[in-house]
Amino acid sequence: MSEPRPLIEARDLHAGYGLAQVLRGASVDAAGGEIVALLGPNGAGKSTLLRVIAGLLRATRGGLLLDGLPIGPSPPWEIAARGLVMVPEGGRAFEPLSVRENLELGAFLPSAHARAEETIREVFALFPILEARQRGRAENLSGGERQMLAIGRGLMARPRVLCLDDPFLGLGRDVADKVGDAIRAVAARGVAVLLAGQHVRRLLRLAHRGYVLEEGRVLIEGASPALGDDPRLARALLDVGRDIS
Amino acid sequence: MSGKRSGLVAVTALLVLLPAVGLPPYYLHLLATAFVLATLASAWSVLAWGGQISFGQATFFGVGAYAAALAAIHGVASWAALALGAAAGAAAGALVSVAALRLHGAPLALATLACAEIGRGIALNWEWLTGGGAGIVGIPALPGPASSPRAAAYYVALLLLIITLSVFSWMTGSRLGLALAAVREDSERASLLGVNPSTWKLAAFTLSGGLTGAAGGLYAHMVRVVEPDLVFSSWYSLAPLIMATLGGPRTVLGPAAAAIGLYLANELVLQPVVPALHQVGYALALIAAVLFLPGGLGGLVVRRRRAAP
């Protein structure tokens, strides 16, 4: 099977916070239309990896390629302008603004702004509850609705690459199913989706491929159903439990 | 909404007619000063929209006053001197924004406070330009009918306030306002949506500085003298902050209404009754707003309207 060219490719990323080294040479990639899961115990570097990809944190070594072109150390707004959007953990909204204003903010970039009306209808088709709530303030949404709003806001930019940090955090099963369906629909349009999170089973059901990170490196990588059965995955997740106890 | 609009038109018409009904010059001057303060409070709120709390609006007020005064004593027409004051205030705003690029919250507030002191220091020491501590005297009054000497300044102050409120109102619904609101709420998440916080903060500082500078230039023409301790006084930094906080900086009319109400109440009521303590009114208003009125008086109106079915 020939591999499609990756839309986003991280090579040998090293990064950390001050003296705390978190990423120690992680390499991941995702092609257009592909859903890729980033798994691993807490502190393995999943969120940090997404932060580096989105430009929130600078890599001390390694590089990023977007559609085959290197993106040097760029600030987040420039990376967003090149079609890569990250939805941070917690799905927090801009609370005093209305649901609609939150979505309009997602289409802030001129290219997305021109098509905002069309995109907002697509987002409403994915998450009808947002259309019903569009005039209300974001602070009045439930946790699940906020997560939908955060993803919808990310989609408003019409990204080529969408990074979601723990999109199922705190969601009930029904809402998580809806969010999962929406992610599939987005990928079906050719968007490369990078998903990080704790909900291993759900992420693997959703993803085409996955990476298991441990201590800032990729421990295993593989196609999604098989990866779930890999004994090393269970061990990586359990190791941390042993450390804590 | 149309009721609100017709109310605004009626108030404006009333204010336009006031000089014609023979209001004494003292009261015209008092109202013009209130309009200047209302402009300052609204311009402060433009900055606050992006979460930038300024303790140094006197910087832009003083720079605008000096620029307009210098232009006016060298024979530049009054309207052009006012425009120069606005331009100088805008330039000072841009400069402060670039210098304070990485600051927000309390450090930004302190930096803006320091900027006003720097402005005062420059005005004191660059005697060749500013006349030093003696200041600049002999600024011509705004041209107007001899029969009503305060009317011209009154009308210009009213016009400046209307322009400022229009700009503020436009901003709240614009791309600039949306970007600033996002930066205020969470600058990191805003940056992920393609918003470069520095660009929009710079725009807000420039706009706020320009409006404040225009008010400074007008004030120079009203009192016809500028001195470092007068126009760089911390009063012009604190008054907009207090008035906007009381009025509610997230509402378009709140800051201006609070400025006019608070200033007139102090000058017409507190000053005659308890002359020694009249400044206390501002302090009490600020304390009351911070303790009991999150969002200010304007916020109260908005909440009530939202709560109504």
Q: Is B190 in contact with A105 (Cβ distance < 8 A)?
A: yes
What's the confidence (pLDDT) of residue B307?
A: 54
pLDDT tens profile A52-98: 999 999 999 999 999 999 987 899 999 999 999 999 987 788 888 99
d(CA B271, CA B293): 25
Q: Tens digit of pLDDT for each residue in B3-60?
A: 788 888 888 888 888 887 878 888 999 999 999 999 999 999 999 999 999 999 999 9
Who among B181, B193, B194 is closest to A97 (CB)? Answer: B181
Q: Is the pLDDT reported for residue B85 higher than 60?
A: yes
> Which neighbouring-strand residues pair with A26?
A13
Which residues, 6 or more positions from B307, have their beta carbon under 8 angstroms from its beta carbon? none
Contacting residues for A56 by C-beta, under 8 A, at least 6 apart: A76, A86, B188, B191, B192
Of A120 and A228, more confident = A120
pLDDT of residue B291: 78
C-alpha A155/C-alpha A103 separation (Å) is: 9
* CB spacing of A104 vs B178 below 8 angstroms: yes
- Per-residue tokens: A122: 């697509």
pLDDT of residue A243: 44
CA dihedral B206, B212, B213, B218 (to 10 degrees): 150
> Which of A50, A57, A77 best probes binding to B when mutated, by most B CB atoms within 10 angstroms?
A77
A98 phi and psi, to 5 degrees? -75, 165
To the nearest whole number, what is the mean pLDDT of chain A? Answer: 90
Domain boundaries, chain A: 1-83+159-178+187-245, 91-158
Look at residue A242 in the predicted model and tell me its pLDDT.
Answer: 45
Chain B residues with CB under 8 Å of A97 CB are 178, 181-182, 185
Inspect the interface and report whether the beta carbons of B192 and A88 lie closer than 8 Å: yes
Pick the CATH number of A1-83+159-178+187-245 from 3.30.1300.30, 3.10.20.30, 3.40.50.300, 3.30.70.360: 3.40.50.300
Q: What angle (nearest 5°) sits at the alpha carbon of residue B165, between those of residues B162 and B168?
A: 150
Rounded to the nearest angstrom, the minimum Cα separation between A93 and chain B is 9
Q: Are B181 and A95 an interchain contact pair (Cβ–Cβ within 8 Å)?
A: no
Q: Does B65 touch chain A (CB under 8 A)?
A: no
Residue B304's pLDDT band, with cuts at 50, 70 and 90, is: low
pLDDT of residue B87: 98
How many angstroms separate the CA atoms of B242 and B40, rounded? 11
Q: What's residue B306's pLDDT? A: 58
Closest CA to B140 of B74, B87, B235: B74
H/E stretch holding B204: helix B197-223
Q: How many CB atoms lie within 10 A of CB B229?
A: 12
Q: Is B186 in CB contact (< 8 Å) with chain A?
A: yes
Rounded to the nearest angstrom, the minimum Cα separation between B307 and chain A is: 12
Question: How confident is the model over B242-276, as pLDDT tens digits?
Answer: 999 999 889 999 999 999 999 999 888 887 787 77
Quick: pLDDT tens for A158-206: 999 999 999 998 888 999 999 999 999 999 999 999 999 988 889 999 9
Report the C-alpha gap between B270 and B35 in whole angstroms: 19
Contacts of B186 in chain A (CB under 8 A): 92, 94
For A80, the closest chain B residue by CA position comes to: B194
Q: Is B188 on the interface with A (CB under 8 A)?
A: yes
Q: Do B194 and A96 touch (CB under 8 A)?
A: no
Whether the predicted pLDDT of B230 surpasses 50: yes
Q: Nearest CA to A127 among A106, A148, A98?
A: A148
**What Rg do the C-alpha atoms of chain A give, in angstroms?**
17
Inspect the interface and report whether the beta carbons of A153 and B181 lie closer than 8 Å: no
**A68: DSSP letter:** T
Partner residue opposite A101 with nearest CB, options B178, B190, B195: B178
